[in-house]
């Protein structure tokens, strides 16, 4: 037993359990956490996926479609958002599920998802018809889900934004719009870059 705790193994253990790039989930199989995978982040389970400039160009989305159970399906872009009620968010951080900080102290500009959904108008047949979920999806198929109640009947609704600017700059590599939920405990999971659709679905 004693032999197991050699310095090398200890270092591996610390690296694996402290580095989000390699082991975002504690249930990741042992084969994913060998020393050969350390410092690489090419697997889809990684917190920060390293994407080449060429690849990120392929994923960039210049518009977002609002669709599903809405009265007015619509498409918006950065210019559309600038004409809406724009908020400035200070000190925005992105924290991966692993606890690693991936973005620190950003000043961002964006528009509330609630304002966008109010333009599209969710198709409610009566006031008890409110079991909807909203799926924000990116071009790489990454998704985040919200409930109707979170957006329209909870303080979270004041914290879900579609961002179009970070630190005074347009969003480029992760562009052009990012959906975030500022009051999530870990903001990484519902930080959707390359955003290209918002789908309103009814719970069956
Ligand atoms: N489109 C898209 N958005 C995504 C991801 C992704 O793979 N694709 N990864 C998520 C994860 S796991 C985290 S922790 C954060 C990291 O964002 P950052 O690298 O920009 O800080 O983005 C989230 N948003
Ligand atoms: Mo993550």
What confidence score (pLDDT) does residue 171 get?
Answer: 98
| Ligand 1 proximity of 188 Cβ (cutoff 6 Å) | yes
Distance 49 CA to ligand 1 centre (A): 7
What confidence score (pLDDT) does residue 35 get?
Answer: 32
CA dihedral over 191, 196, 200, 204, signed as positive or negative = negative
Which mutation among 20, 47, 56 tests ligand 1's pocket best, with the greatest number of atoms within 8 A of CB? 47
What confidence score (pLDDT) does residue 44 get?
Answer: 66
Task: Return the exposure string of 71-81: e unless at least 16 CB atoms fall within 10 Å of the residue's CB, then b.
Answer: eeebebebebb
Mean pLDDT for each consecutive 10-residue tract of the chain (204 residues)?
Answer: 40 38 37 32 67 89 98 98 98 98 98 98 97 98 98 98 98 97 98 98 97
CATH topology of domain 58-202: Sulfite Oxidase; Chain A, domain 2 (3.90.420)
What confidence score (pLDDT) does residue 27 get?
Answer: 36
Contact present, 138 and 59 (Cβ < 8 Å): yes
Task: Return the exposure string of 190-200: e unless at least 16 CB atoms fall within 10 Å of the residue's CB, then b.
Answer: bbbbbbbbbbb
Quote helix, strand, coil % in the chain, to nearest 5.
25, 30, 45
Spatial CA neighbour of 79 closest among 93, 62, 102, 58: 62
Strands of the sheet containing 143-147, edge to edge, are: 74-76, 64-68, 195-202, 132-138, 143-147
């Amino acid at each position: 037993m004693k032999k197991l705790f050699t310095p090398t193994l200890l270092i591996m253990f610390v690296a694996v359990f402290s580095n989000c790039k390699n082991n975002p989930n504690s249930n990741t199989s042992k084969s994913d956490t060998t020393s050969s995978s350390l410092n690489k982040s090419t697997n889809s389970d990684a917190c920060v996926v390293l994407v080449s400039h060429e690849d990120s160009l392929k994923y960039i989305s210049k518009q977002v479609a609002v669709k599903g159970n809405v009265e007015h399906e619509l498409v918006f872009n950065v210019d559309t958002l600038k004409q809406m009620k724009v908020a400035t968010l200070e000190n925005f951080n992105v924290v991966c599920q692993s606890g690693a900080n991936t973005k620190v102290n950003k000043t961002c500009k964006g528009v509330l998802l609630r304002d966008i959904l109010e333009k599209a108008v969710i198709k409610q047949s009566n006031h008890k018809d409110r079991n909807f979920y909203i799926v924000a999806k990116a071009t790489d198929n990454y998704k985040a889900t919200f409930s109707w109640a979170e957006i329209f009947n909870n303080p979270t609704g004041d914290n879900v934004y579609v961002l179009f600017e970070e630190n005074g700059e347009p969003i480029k590599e992760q562009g052009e719009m990012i959906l975030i939920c500022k009051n999530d405990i870990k903001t990484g999971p519902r930080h959707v870059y390359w955003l290209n659709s918002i789908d309103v679905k009814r719970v069956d």
